[in-house]
């Protein structure tokens, strides 16, 4: 067992169930194709990292998909909202004995191995590492211990998530990585020519 664990939160790629805000502009089928592309990008970006890796499915675990069980452990997200699901994943991972646990989503075209490695590295000298997203949330969160309220009383999906999280962490040493943009609405696609083939 490696002492570092990467958690990858994904949604099961089903028509009408993913990228729903994006689908309002480009249609459910194009939104699904973009999400599948982002999933594949996340899988390729993470598969060669030296840490242990766990994929957390939103609905049900799929056996024969892009996540090779020789590389990725597989789990189902448990909890009534995103905060509870992330809290359970972190708690379970830390209880297993992992020293550093880092979570990412699966809708970030700018995600790189270097950013994830930097997240783990910064935990050497910080309590918490956050990758800020342009929409006011975060695309990455890393920790060694579970702070009490970090996942409680948040309006997930709102632009206040990171600000509210930082308030909970005011007595902790927090390192912020570079700000990136996750793909949620049509405007997020415009800066990336790579998506034109889906539109």
d(CA 133, CA 135): 5
Given a cut of 90, is residue 190 above it in pLDDT? no
Between CA 178 and CA 18 the distance in angstroms is: 26
How far is the C-alpha of 124 from the C-alpha of 113, rounded, in Å? 18
* Residue 180 DSSP class: B
pLDDT tens-digit map of 57-96: 999 999 999 999 999 999 999 999 999 999 999 999 999 9
Please report, for the chain, the start and end positions of each structural domain, with discontinuous segments joined by +. 4-198
Q: Strand, helix or coil at 129?
A: strand
Q: Is 166 helix (H, G, I), strand (E, B) or coil?
A: helix
Q: What is the pTM of this model?
A: 0.96
| Strand arrangement, sheet containing 138-143 | 73-76, 52-57, 4-10, 100-104, 138-143, 128-132, 174-176
Residue 150 contacts residue 84 (beta carbons within 8 Å): no
- Please state, rounded to an integer, the average pLDDT across all residues of the chain: 95
In sequence order, the 6+-apart residues with CB closer than 8 A to the CB of 72 are: 8, 47, 53, 54, 55
Q: What are residue 173's phi and psi, to 5 degrees? A: -90, 110
- Asked if residues 77 and 85 have their Cβ atoms less than 8 Å apart, the reply is yes
pLDDT computed for residue 143 by the predictor: 98
Three-class SS state of 10: strand
Query: Cα separation of 41 and 105, whole Å?
Result: 12
Weakest-pLDDT range from 12-26, 47-61, 143-157, 178-192: 178-192
Which has the closest alpha carbon to 73: 130, 131, 1, 145? Answer: 1
The class level of CATH for 4-198 reads alpha beta
Contacts of 117 (CB under 8 A, 6+ apart): 49
């Amino acid at each position: 067992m490696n002492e570092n664990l990467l958690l990858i939160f994904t949604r099961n790629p089903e028509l009408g169930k993913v990228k729903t805000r994006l689908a309002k502009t480009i249609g459910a089928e194009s939104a699904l194709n973009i999400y599948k592309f982002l999933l594949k990008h996340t899988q390729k970006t993470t598969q060669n990292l030296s840490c242990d890796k766990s994929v957390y499915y939103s609905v049900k675990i799929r056996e024969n998909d892009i996540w090779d069980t020789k590389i990725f452990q597989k789990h189902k997200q448990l909890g009534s909202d995103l905060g509870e699901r992330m809290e359970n994943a972190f708690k379970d991972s830390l209880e297993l004995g992992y020293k550093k646990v880092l979570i990412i989503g699966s809708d970030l075209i700018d995600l790189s191995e270097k950013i994830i490695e930097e997240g783990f590295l910064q935990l050497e000298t910080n309590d918490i590492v956050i990758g800020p997203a342009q929409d006011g949330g975060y695309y990455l969160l890393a920790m060694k211990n579970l702070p009490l309220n970090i996942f409680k009383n948040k309006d997930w999906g709102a632009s206040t998530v990171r600000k509210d999280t930082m308030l909970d962490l005011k007595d902790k040493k927090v390192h912020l990585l570079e700000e990136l943009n996750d793909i949620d609405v049509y405007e997020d696609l415009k800066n990336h020519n790579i998506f034109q083939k889906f539109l």
